[in-house]
Structure 1
């Protein structure tokens, strides 16, 4: 019996009590069933009695006793106890609990997926590093978390478009071009320009393709270097991210907003809605009306449009493409954007509580040999995504970056996350995936066939360690839905680590395969189903984090 099936049984109990005249209340549209912390309190608990107390005008414990009476008649339920202020603690019979293993294996990659966010169209923008240099360590955190969030939102039924906003307009692109020209001519980088070997490498590629630019006047060389360098750098960024397992549905150019006139259109639209005013020769958006700490300039007195003007056009463009929620994943230095983006949404007539979500990621430090790494041989003063992957690999990097809340700063120790030991979380979880595969392979070598559903006897999975493992496996869909609702991929990683620990205790305490000349029993086969169910959940969870489930370690 899955938690969803148990929730249905609770709803039926409420309906039965209402029809019998024992309760005067409507059947709740949603019932929350959660796994208990210890099996002494049953397998699952629900607070439905407290949920019904006010409309039914009865004490929760009295409602609990009424519902317990009906639930005890339900198939698959062994015991129901009313605890505390009115919690219902429910213990499943071993057969009902054990059937979950069959349901998980049958569902395969679909297990854990749901329709919790069905019909929600989400635009998820993350990384969006300037195309003036490689993706650095801070951006890499968002690459891991953002792509994991995309996978989790889709698993919860949302329609998600992952998007990279290319900041290809403005002063930084001119500095990039000037730096490339200087490198191509063997000159030092200009003040506030870009350094690092990558600039010299790009400049060399440009001159190889267009040698005439070596002696061309600046008015000809600068735009050529800028455009060619931009394309080469963007291709390199895309290649690094693809190698990291990150794919984008949309690459959106900031420059296209200006060239298409959508920035002017956005300003005109916001003016029509009464939120734009002129002062001191500049054009302003009155964001203070909606909680921002100050009004924002859209057009400077000299006629130059601000970055925020492009931000406004970009937001309106997203909403015009039909997205219900626009998620922005920004670095720690962008905290001030929360207020202004929410105010922008309100100026556009939207509810910022639903249409905009700004996630802020804190800094990342990388340690090697006890010392912080701050330099890259190729990129100069930054550590890049490629540097991290070269040091620890894609799996270790993605899992480690995704397993911590983005609210907190993160320190990554190269030695720790590459160590093959239980203390290393990614190794600990992947080892379970490999162990479950090995157990199944060994069973096949012994000639055991447990694939036929009719040979599976779920009631044999009655050991406390088996019951605990089944309970944790049954919790996976709820964890996925919660991670999607809260936009917190680290919940998946922490769940997998808990599951790994519970599986290890099951493996150590419950003999899965026969020893020596021991006869193959139905219990062995039932435990192999449970082993397969664990492998399914571990694999599905790791896939949501963009991490592999290896067959061997």
Structure 2
């Protein structure tokens, strides 16, 4: 069971409680589920009972108890407990890792996409400042991945007929959006105007009068130059996206150093390691197959959190959350990788196949997350 599955499971429990009259509340569009914090129990937790208590006219503990009754025996859940003022805590089955790995392998790079924001329409103002445009373009991609109808003012949703030099440079698979506009940066370092800057393009007064649409949204972004000519596309994008939008962008120089202190290098290197592990395993005569439980809580937790992180990044207009999560995933994978292949005279076993399947799933998550940011996931470094 993935966090997204768990969120839907809790939401269905709320609906059942409302349908049978146990609760008199409006069913929320989504239920937030997150990793259990220090002091909590189990793997995941939700504060849904606390958020519904006032409208239900009951205590949060009462609401939590009603939901807990309807969650007992749910496939994939080993235990449901109520703690504190009314938090629901969930412990997954020991073999839940298999469900997670299979979900990642089935979805591929699209793992983490969903429909939580279906029906939400977001329009961003046209921009010209480089970092504001890049951040907003990435947020649009995140919103669309969660089902929202998101666009940048003045930009089409496809690339048809748009010259290549009028789009933000991004690697294949990044699903880049066509962008236009002027930028004072030299042409070989120019990134087409991005929405969200403080320099909106001139508007047609007559067109505005005929279009009473709501005011366009803007993301507060600390400006910064986009420098693919100096840093390359990957480092240039990471430098602007890894820091929170309102913070100063990162110094690009350290991002060019192939060293473990460089987080961009760690993330891309971790992906390349997965590709080598799969190739080496093939030479030893086995491939990925999750047959037995794998004791890798940090890596499984990172993969399970990926859909939650993408949704939160979309809602909070914060692509830096994706970058930070990729670092967590990469670090967990690099710590785990040494257990994947047989050592010495050891023969490949079901445990090795399962570990390889988990590593492959981690590589898929890394590639998908990098793609959302418009950054390449190399086969080799």
2: CA distance, partners of 1:442 / 1:308: 52
Corresponding residue SS for 1:94 = coil
- Between the two proteins, the alignment pairs up a number of residues equal to 355
Corresponding residue SS for 2:45 = strand
Aligned position for 1:313: 205
Aligned position for 1:256: none
Q: After superposition, where does 1:19-98 map in structure 2 within 5 Å?
A: 23-26=22-25, 28-29=27-28, 30-37=30-37, 41-98=41-98
Scaled by the length of structure 1, what TM-score is found?
A: 0.57
Corresponding residue SS for 2:89 = strand
Corresponding residue SS for 2:218 = strand
2: CA distance, partners of 1:549 / 1:477: 19
Aligned position for 1:457: 291
1: CA distance, partners of 2:134 / 2:166: 12
Aligned position for 2:241: 402
2:319 matches 1:489: yes
1: CA distance, partners of 2:119 / 2:54: 32
Cα gap change, 1:485 to 1:240, in 2 (>3 Å) = same
Tell me the CA shift for residue 28 of structure 1. Answer: 2.7
Cα gap change, 1:515 to 1:40, in 2 (>3 Å) = farther
Tell me the CA shift for residue 72 of structure 1. Answer: 3.2
Deviations along 1:72-128, whole A, 9 cap, x unmatched?
A: 322221122221111111110122243111111111122111223334454445553
| Equivalent position to 2:218, from 355, 358, 361 | 358
Given that 2:47 and 2:86 are in contact with CA atoms closer than 8 Å, whether structure 1 keeps it comes out as yes
Given that 1:164 and 1:248 are in contact with CA atoms closer than 8 Å, whether structure 2 keeps it comes out as no
Mark the runs of 5 or more structure 1 residues left unpaired by the alignment. 129-138, 166-233, 254-306, 321-347, 365-383
1: CA distance, partners of 2:201 / 2:379: 51
Aligned position for 1:419: 257
Cα gap change, 1:31 to 1:358, in 2 (>3 Å) = closer
Aligned position for 2:114: 114
Aligned position for 2:137: 147
Aligned position for 2:189: none
Q: After superposition, where does 1:130-141 map in structure 2 within 5 Å?
A: 139-141=129-131
2: CA distance, partners of 1:16 / 1:115: 21
Aligned position for 2:275: 437
Q: Which protein is richer in helix relative to its size?
A: 1
Aligned position for 1:519: 347
2: CA distance, partners of 1:247 / 1:24: 45
Cα gap change, 1:244 to 1:164, in 2 (>3 Å) = farther
1: CA distance, partners of 2:73 / 2:95: 15
Aligned position for 1:447: 285
1: CA distance, partners of 2:67 / 2:347: 45
2: CA distance, partners of 1:516 / 1:28: 57
Q: After superposition, where does 1:308-347 map in structure 2 within 5 Å?
A: 310-311=202-203, 313=205, 316=208, 320=211
Larger radius of gyration: 1
Given that 2:117 and 2:147 are in contact with CA atoms closer than 8 Å, whether structure 1 keeps it comes out as yes
Tell me the CA shift for residue 407 of structure 1. Answer: 1.2
Given that 2:168 and 2:179 are in contact with CA atoms closer than 8 Å, whether structure 1 keeps it comes out as no
Given that 2:167 and 2:177 are in contact with CA atoms closer than 8 Å, whether structure 1 keeps it comes out as no
2: CA distance, partners of 1:515 / 1:39: 38
1: CA distance, partners of 2:132 / 2:200: 22
Given that 1:161 and 1:250 are in contact with CA atoms closer than 8 Å, whether structure 2 keeps it comes out as no
Tell me the CA shift for residue 548 of structure 1. Answer: 0.4
Given that 2:167 and 2:178 are in contact with CA atoms closer than 8 Å, whether structure 1 keeps it comes out as no
Q: After superposition, where does 1:248-327 map in structure 2 within 5 Å?
A: 248-249=177-178, 251=180, 310-311=202-203, 313=205, 316=208, 320=211
1: CA distance, partners of 2:69 / 2:205: 60
Corresponding residue SS for 1:75 = coil
| Equivalent position to 1:239, from 159, 165, 168 | 165
Cα gap change, 1:312 to 1:116, in 2 (>3 Å) = farther
2: CA distance, partners of 1:5 / 1:420: 38
Given that 2:235 and 2:252 are in contact with CA atoms closer than 8 Å, whether structure 1 keeps it comes out as no
Aligned position for 1:103: 103
2: CA distance, partners of 1:9 / 1:244: 37
2:297 matches 1:467: yes
Given that 2:176 and 2:374 are in contact with CA atoms closer than 8 Å, whether structure 1 keeps it comes out as no
Given that 1:68 and 1:88 are in contact with CA atoms closer than 8 Å, whether structure 2 keeps it comes out as yes
Corresponding residue SS for 1:79 = strand
Q: C-alpha root-mean-square deviation of aligned residues, in Å? A: 3.3
2: CA distance, partners of 1:75 / 1:493: 32
Tell me the CA shift for residue 396 of structure 1. Answer: 0.8
